[in-house]
Structure 1
Amino acid sequence: MPLLRTLLLTALAPITWGTTYLVTTELLPPGHPLFAALIRALPAGVIAVILGRSIPHGTWWMKAALLGTLNIGGFFPLLFIAAERLPGGVAAAVAGAQPLILLALGSVVLRERVRPVAAIAAVAGAAGVAAIVLGPSAALDPLGIAAAVGGVTCTAVGIILTKHWGRPPRTGAVAYAGWQLTAGGLFLLPLTLVFEGIPAEIHPDNVLGYLWLTTAGGLIAYALWFRGIERLPVAAPGLLALLSPVVATILGVALAHEAFTPVQLTGLLVVLSALVAGQLAVLRQPRAVTPRAPQPMATP
């Protein structure tokens, strides 16, 4: 089934992003989150544009810049502000609300009907993520909460606009991802140089971590992600994004020897149930036909 294949390929993106926390703590130099975000975005974007052999044209210069800023350039600084001012669990719990934001925006902007199964799955998924990542010591900082909500909203609006505008004719998924990664990287470049700078020393294990973020976490993951956004109903990517905190938690338990409580296990089962129910609803609904650009008539 083409739709099932699209779902599985799109799921690889948040699964890969779930490794970011472990890679950051184990392989990257501390105190340089903006530099890590820049390395994740800009080199991958340039490589993708070269491989895709396509650059924006006309209004797509503005659209690519806006999408890159929302999905990548603006999202990362807000994410890092939230990470600095909130426990990781609180920031991840706020991110778990993204499917609900997507359902609301999709119904208003894209006129997609909110299906009861998708709405229930989104609520259950957010509750499950909260159970996985929230602990008894969770603290709420107003600026941190605002940054976390802002970051989630940025990516939600970016997803909606990506789906609304589609992809220009004769532009592949790799090139399309490259436009956005490059735009986001260029947005991050001055922020990184002004507020953070380049690490004084970069060791071989740091290079390994940066390579993973650039290739798997940047080029490959975003190409699959934007391709999935274009082909799937708006509820599907939002629910698939819940895989990221789930994978991060599982890796923390398996490789970093973090504790795993019965409450977290319950939350994990709830999230997985919500994911399965939400994606089954996507597979059962009639497939939307992607509009194609009109083709020129053949000359007699």
Structure 2
Amino acid sequence: MTAVPVAGRAPLSPLGLAFLVVASTGWGLNFPIMKFLLTEWPPLSSRGLCGVVGALGLALVALARGQTLRVPDGMWLRLALVSTLSIGGWVASMGLALIWLRASEAAVLGISIPVWVALVAWPVLGERVSLPRALALAVALAGIAALIGGGGIDASVGKLPGILFALAGALCVGLGTVLTKFFKLAMPPLSLAAWQLAIGCVPIAIAGVLIEQPQLAALSQFGWASMIYMTLIQFCLCYVCWFAALERLPAATASIGTLLVPVVGVLAAAAMLREPLSASDIAALVVTFAAVAVALRT
């Protein structure tokens, strides 16, 4: 297997950028929704079962559109590896991280993804990081660091498990993003998303049901609404848009675009959960957003 050609200075796909914005916005909004849902349902069960239902829904849509669900010969191992990292690792890790962290904290800590992508994409994909993009990425990460400090993440033993789970989830997505580009999983986008969600979420759902033993009666109307959002938006819409963006954009560009997730997550957590949002938080959000815009243009 050879690395894909270097992206160079080819113009970015507007459609790819649009898909990226939809995915990042949907994922950012999901952080306060996940945090609220934890008050009614445990993390592995809620995220795992929503992912499984989302996978079934995408499979039905793919069949209705005439797309095949058949996995090409010789692709199962690659598909399983990418799905376990990109979906399974992220779904489980971020669900557990929210037990110890606020929604805004988890959103910020979880988006160290561009760092891992940049480190791996250069040797694996041959995607060199230009100096302007590296500087923009550094500025964006500095903005995220300011958000962490402004949000009051206390480096204490009490929050350490959540911090480690969030970083582990980001690392899994970073590796999975690069491998998705490297392996070139040749399947229709809806079918690919369905299989990745199924492979990544079925083990988590089974573990959640067996260990956490969730009760449907514990869900309120808002709890059901949260489950529906996670199923239809976070898993179905956002992942289809993410895979579509990866088809049209360099891995590093797509990962930098996900820096919009903590911006949306922090603002949504402040509005929906009344989590504190200071003037320094707002300034850091502006810096992060501006750096993302610069990085996407270089």
**Under TM normalisation by the shorter chain, which class is it?**
0.7 to 0.9
Cα offset for 1:158?
Answer: 0.6
Give the secondary structure class of the aligned counterpart of 1:58: coil
Match in the other structure for 2:171:
153
* Cα RMSD for the two superposed structures: 2.2
1:75, 1:151 within 8 Å by CA — same for their partners in 2? yes
**C-alpha separation in 1, matches of 2:273 and 2:101:** 21
2:54, 2:197 within 8 Å by CA — same for their partners in 1? yes
1:110, 1:164 within 8 Å by CA — same for their partners in 2? yes
1:93, 1:126 within 8 Å by CA — same for their partners in 2? no
Q: Does 1:269 align with 2:279?
A: no
Give the secondary structure class of the aligned counterpart of 1:7: helix
**C-alpha separation in 2, matches of 1:165 and 1:158:** 10
- Pairing partner for 1:103 from 103, 118, 127: 118
**C-alpha separation in 2, matches of 1:81 and 1:32:** 9
Q: Which string of whole-angstrom CA distances, capped at 9 and with x for unpartnered residues, describes residues 229-267 of structure 1? A: 122112212111111111122123334444321211110
| Structure 2 counterparts to residues 171-250 of structure 1, below 5 A | 171-201=187-217, 202-250=219-267
Q: Does 1:119 align with 2:134?
A: yes
Q: Which string of whole-angstrom CA distances, capped at 9 and with x for unpartnered residues, describes residues 35-87 of structure 1? A: 22113311111221232232313222222222221111122222233333455
AA aligned to 1:192 is G
- Pairing partner for 1:18 from 28, 32, 56: 28
Could you tell which deviates more after superposition, 204-213 or 7-16? 204-213
**C-alpha separation in 2, matches of 1:143 and 1:258:** 20
Match in the other structure for 1:131:
146
CA separation of 1:71 and 1:258: change in aligned 2, threshold 3 A: same
Match in the other structure for 1:83:
98
1:28, 1:206 within 8 Å by CA — same for their partners in 2? no
Give the secondary structure class of the aligned counterpart of 2:33: helix
1:49, 1:174 within 8 Å by CA — same for their partners in 2? yes
Could you tell which deviates more after superposition, 206-215 or 195-204? 195-204
Q: Which string of whole-angstrom CA distances, capped at 9 and with x for unpartnered residues, describes residues 197-221 of structure 1? A: 2225133332221111111111111
Q: Which string of whole-angstrom CA distances, capped at 9 and with x for unpartnered residues, describes residues 96-149 of structure 1? A: 322111111000111111111221122221221222243345224454443333
**C-alpha separation in 2, matches of 1:229 and 1:199:** 37
| Structure 2 counterparts to residues 273-292 of structure 1, below 5 A | 273-281=290-298
**C-alpha separation in 1, matches of 2:173 and 2:202:** 17
Give the secondary structure class of the aligned counterpart of 1:220: helix
AA aligned to 2:31 is Y
CA separation of 1:143 and 1:55: change in aligned 2, threshold 3 A: same
Report percent identity of matched pairs.
Answer: 24
1:82, 1:145 within 8 Å by CA — same for their partners in 2? yes
AA aligned to 1:9 is F
Q: Does 1:46 align with 2:56?
A: yes
Structure 1 gaps, min length 5: 282-300
**C-alpha separation in 1, matches of 2:119 and 2:270:** 34
Aligned length: 279
**C-alpha separation in 2, matches of 1:255 and 1:75:** 23
**C-alpha separation in 1, matches of 2:107 and 2:236:** 23
Cα offset for 1:226?
Answer: 0.9
CA separation of 1:255 and 1:240: change in aligned 2, threshold 3 A: same
User: Radius of gyration: which is bigger?
Assistant: 1
Match in the other structure for 1:167:
185
CA separation of 1:40 and 1:120: change in aligned 2, threshold 3 A: farther
